[in-house]
C-alpha cells in the first residue's frame, strides 16, 4: 500500500517524530494519519520531499480534516 510506504519514508525525515496510519473500522475507505513534526520548518520540508510529492501526485487520498496543535505544557 502506497500510504504505508509514505509513512515509512516520512518517519525517516529529520524533524518527524510520529507519522502513523490508523484505519477507521466503521468506514472501510477511511484512514487517519496521526503526524507530529518538531516544528513548522520540518512540517513544511515534508511537502518538499520527493516521496511526499510523488504520493500526492497519485491523488489517492483526500484531506477531510486537519488540526494543528501544540503539546500542552504542565
* Domain spans of the chain, in order of start: 2-57
Q: What is the pLDDT of residue 66?
A: 83
The predicted pLDDT at position 70 comes to 81
Under a CB-based contact definition with an 8 Å cutoff, are residues 42 and 16 in contact? yes
Nearest to 44 by CA among 32, 56, 52: 52
pLDDT at 1: 83
The class (CATH top level) of 2-57 is alpha beta
pLDDT of residue 44: 95
C-alpha–C-alpha distance, residues 31 and 20, integer Å? 10
CA 34-32-1 angle, to 5 degrees, is 105
pTM higher than 0.75 for the full model? yes
Asked if residues 35 and 16 have their Cβ atoms less than 8 Å apart, the reply is: yes
Residue tagged 472501510 (cell numbers)? 28
Residue ranges of the chain with per-residue pLDDT less than 50: none
Amino acid at each position: 500500500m502506497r500510504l504505508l510506504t509514505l509513512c515509512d519514508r516520512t518517519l525517516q525525515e529529520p524533524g518527524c517524530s510520529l507519522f502513523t496510519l490508523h484505519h477507521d473500522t466503521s468506514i472501510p475507505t477511511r484512514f487517519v494519519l496521526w503526524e507530529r513534526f518538531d516544528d513548522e520548518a520540518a512540517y513544511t520540508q515534508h511537502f518538499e520531499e520527493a516521496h511526499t510529492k510523488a504520493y500526492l501526485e497519485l491523488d489517492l487520498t483526500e484531506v477531510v480534516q486537519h488540526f494543528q496543535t501544540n503539546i500542552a505544557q504542565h
